[in-house]
Structure 1
Amino acid sequence: MTTRTLHNRPPFRAEHIGSFIRPAALYDKRLLFEAKQCSKEELKELEDDAIKAVVDMQRAAGIKTITDGELRRDIFYEGVFNNLEGISVLDRRMEHFKKYVPHAALQCDSGLEEAPTFFCNGPVKRTKAFYLEDFKYLKSLVAPEASLRVEIMNLYLNPLLDQDVKYIKITMPAPSWIHQSHGSQDTYDLSLPDEFFDAIGEAYRAEIAELYENGCRHIQIDNPSFCYFCDESMLSGMKAEGVDPEALLDTYIRAMNICTAGRPSDLTFGVHMCRGNYRGKRFAEGTYARIATKLFNDLDVDTFYLEYDGKYCGDFEPLVHLPQNKIAVLGIVTTKKPELETIEELEARINEAVDAMCKGDQGRSRQEALNQLCISTQCGFASEWRGNPVTEIDQYKKLELLVAAAKHIWGN
């Protein structure tokens, strides 16, 4: 694989992940929609209003890279697999799932009785866009000619922040997630041939090309699957069934690289390696040391979003393997609880990461290591529409903290 340089580094050192809790009005309307008591059109009106508000929230906090908060989605992966021809979505009872798969174990423990699985029922094709209309709507809110709403929660937008369409970030689920939720036991279906991921990758590239044509320059893939290979319960469960974890990890890296292949040089691509974000709970743990060398060097992306909000994530030592032409965004602010970190705590953790990066044989100086880092929340505030146990005010304070910490540490 040819190594690429990072063409469009994140414009702010504070990088949020992309999903936000739903405002009360949208939450209540979503309850009605789930109960089939309102139409999709009625729900969309509330979504439009909520997205306008969440754009203002990000801008007021000082975040320059803007998302729509995934406020139109039921869960982070909605919009791709349910829109692909050749894929069907079926609910299956939890007793059919492999319990060592981290998200299945959490869902069982949470009392969930059934969950969706995906089945390939024919040739996989993209016959309609995934997120193009979402991007167009967001584009209408941040374009230079868009009217600017300056007041939010009694805070005022910094007039120095001149928003631009090129800073919009679109988030997508990873192609491997369909594989993790494919088949009768909600797990990797090893009978699927390479051609399956080739077709999925072609669909992603078509979506990416259309987004690019409309002005998108920043895409983030959300991939919980990679952190499964850090988790001892998953690894031991796979090995007990005769599955080679390294071979499957190689398959998932290849699946991602098919999606990113041939992208334009000014399109920034990142991967968020999620450890679970289900109503304030995680479902995977373990050090990145088990996957860092392979992922950092073989995965064709510019940016790695890494969760680091607790000891369950391991230490920063794996960052020594980060190539000098890539960026690591360290998720050291938690979205799972309202307690607010301090700038001093965040600075100390960044210094730990810099120390780790300078231990290798790459000859990195401390300043060079610091320039390869950004900070963020460890995940989004609501990977599914019910959200985490935090309020909108908590959410805003954490974004504001990230910007203040970034300016303190990097001076920009």
Structure 2
Amino acid sequence: MSQTHPPFRADIVGSFLRPAALKEARVQFQRGAIDASVLEKIEDEEIRRVVEQQEAAGLQVVTDGEFRRAWWHFDFLEQLDGVTGYKGEQGIQFQGVQTSAKQIRVDGRVGFNPEHPMLDHFRYLAGVANVMPKMTIPSPSVLHFRGGRKKIDSGVYPSLDAFFADTADAYRDAIRAFYEAGCRYLQLDDTVWAYLCSEKELQAARDRGDDPDQLQAIYAEMINHALADKPDDLYVSLHVCRGNFRSTWISEGGYEPVAETLFGKVGVDAWFLEYDSDRAGSFDPLRFIPEGHQQAVLGLITTKVGELEDPQAVRARLDEATQFVDKQQLCLSPQCGFASTEEGNNLAEQAQWDKIRLTLEIANAYWGQG
């Protein structure tokens, strides 16, 4: 395939189903039956194995499967200065199922801790990878949107302008730190842009006391500020998802309400876009992607069920997308990770790898061997 740098023609979002040995080890650790050093050793072994599996499948990019995390976002965010994780009264409501009651709040000045544990997580991944290692972290908008004003201490931040500025600075420091740790492919996972396409989620933001009409510009500015010092050889992608927990979702609605800002003003190298169901709408919003080097990675392979897609139907969808963006600016991936939380989606591990191989086979055929 004629793509020598990220994103690759066949790419991945990041998380993989947790192996039974890892799940058991985390239960034992929580019970106090094993200590942190034993858990880390098991995590190391399982990460090495999942990297080998990704490489054996033929991927040009690998992640650690997010095996050291319980959540795709909280584990990173609660290690920022000024952010505290705690057990709330209820979890996040998905379609017919609710998560555990993990929550975070901002009770101090937000900053990036240079000892953030995920820097070492990346270093381990890079040490066992033979192809491009990718690090995934939540986007800066995620720290704000879910809790909004109510979860940000007004004594610390009487004005949210200062909170947005500090968070953008923290992410600027984070991007620099990951680069210095050797990272050349960083992904910002961002459910918020999809939530801004959902009237239900917009109303929830209003109910929290936030003005969602202002958030597109604010979030775009935060991301662009974080990227201001990005070296040319660091590739940063933004993954947009409508929720992914035990094969369910949160929001619905096409990208049109945010497309002009998301594609026209956010300066990432690529967007990973959920497109595996009618919830994502049409490809029309891709018309806002400028001609040039930025790419759209179309998530046409679902991670929510194990049934394999028809390759011909996926190729037809790719052809449809080329009506709005050049073929050479497109790539293919699963629409999300297979386990955005440690519970994982409702499909077998074998189906997960079948999906990865299908993605590779379709991409090889569609863009040709390079």
Deviation at 1:113, TM superposition (A): 6.7
Secondary structure of the residue aligned to 2:61 is coil
* Deviation per residue, 1:348-371 (Å, 9 max, x gap): 1101111233xxxxxxxxxxx110
Which of 166, 171, 179 matches 2:136? Answer: 171
Work out which of the residue numbers 83, 87, 110 in structure 1 matches 2:83. Answer: 87
Q: CA RMSD in A?
A: 2.4
1:56 equivalent in structure 2: 52
Letter in 2 for 1:19: S
In structure 2, C-alpha distance between the alignment counterparts of 1:204 and 1:169, rounded to whole Å: 17
- Aligned equivalents of 1:123 and 1:235: distance in 2? 25
The residue correspondences of 1:13-412 to structure 2 (distance < 5 A) are 13-94=9-90, 104-106=92-94, 109-111=96-98, 114-122=101-109, 124-142=111-129, 163-164=130-131, 167-182=132-147, 192-238=159-205, 243-325=210-292, 326-357=294-325, 369-412=326-369
8 Å CA contact 1:328–1:372 kept in 2: the answer is yes
Percent identity of equivalent pairs: 35
What is the CA deviation profile of residues 194-245 of structure 1, one whole-angstrom value per residue up to 9, with x for unaligned ones?
2222222222222322322232111000011111111121224445777432
8 Å Cα contact 1:273-1:307 kept in structure 2: yes
Aligned length, in residue pairs: 364
Answer whether contact 1:74 1:384 (CA < 8 A) is retained.
yes
Point out where structure 2 has 5 or more consecutive residues left out of the alignment: none
- Separation in 1, partners of 2:287, 2:16: 32
Specify the SS of the correspondent of 1:135. Answer: helix
Q: Is the 8 A contact 2:85 2:102 kept in 1?
A: no
How far apart, in 1, do the equivalents of 2:79 and 2:254 lie? 35
Distance 1:263 1:111 in 2: 37
Shift of 1:316: 0.7
2:142–2:191: 8 Å Cα contact kept in structure 1? Answer: yes
Compared with structure 1, are the counterparts of its residues 110 and 286 closer, same or farther at alpha carbon in structure 2 (3 Å cutoff)?
same
Q: Per the alignment, in what secondary structure is the counterpart of residue 309 of structure 1?
A: coil
SS of 2:9's equivalent? coil
Contact 2:109/2:166, CA 8 A, preserved across alignment: no
Select between 372-381 and 338-347 the one with higher mean Cα deviation. Answer: 338-347
Query: Whole-Å Cα distance in 2 between the matches of residues 233 and 285 of structure 1?
Result: 9
The secondary structure found in structure 1 opposite 2:296 is strand
Q: Residue 218 and residue 194 in structure 1: after superposition, are their counterparts in 2 closer, same or farther (change >3 A)? A: same
**1:152 matched to which residue of 2?**
none
Letter in 1 for 2:145: Q
Distance 1:122 1:11 in 2: 34
Following superposition, the deviation at residue 81 of structure 1 comes to: 2.0
The change in CA–CA distance for 1:406 and 1:84 in structure 2 (over 3 A counts) is same
Instruction: Give deviations 1:18-69, integer Å, cap 9, x for gaps.
Output: 1111111111112222334332222111111111111111111111111111
Question: Partners in 1 of 2:206 and 2:119 — Cα distance?
Answer: 40
**Amino acid across the alignment from 1:61:** A
Contact 1:86 1:121 in 2 (8 A): yes
For 1:62 and 1:127, the matched residues in 2 are separated by 34
Q: Which residue matches 1:366?
A: none
d(CA) in 2 for partners of 1:254 and 1:342?
Answer: 39
**Residues 290 and 11 from structure 1, CA distance in 2 versus in 1: closer, same or farther, beyond 3 angstroms?**
closer
> How has the CA–CA distance of structure 1 residues 240 and 277 changed in structure 2, closer, same or farther, with 3 Å as cutoff?
closer
Matched position secondary structure for 1:355? coil
Q: 1:113 to 1:337 in 2, by over 3 A?
A: closer
Say which SS state the counterpart of residue 386 (structure 1) adopts.
coil
Question: Given the two structures, how large is their TM-score scaled by the length of structure 2?
Answer: 0.91
C-alpha separation in 2, matches of 1:370 and 1:217: 24
Q: Say if 1:329 and 1:187 are closer, same or farther in 2 by CA, change over 3 A.
A: farther
For 2:320 and 2:174, locate their aligned partners in 1 and report how far apart those are by CA, in whole Å.
39
- CA distance in 1 between counterparts of 2:208 and 2:349 reads 44
CA contact (8 A) 1:89 1:119 kept: no
Structure 1 pair 105/111, CA: closer, same or farther in 2 (3 Å)? Answer: closer
- Mapped to 2, the partners of 1:135 and 1:12 lie a distance apart of 19
Displacement of 1:169 in angstroms is 0.8
Change (3 A) 1:111 1:269: closer
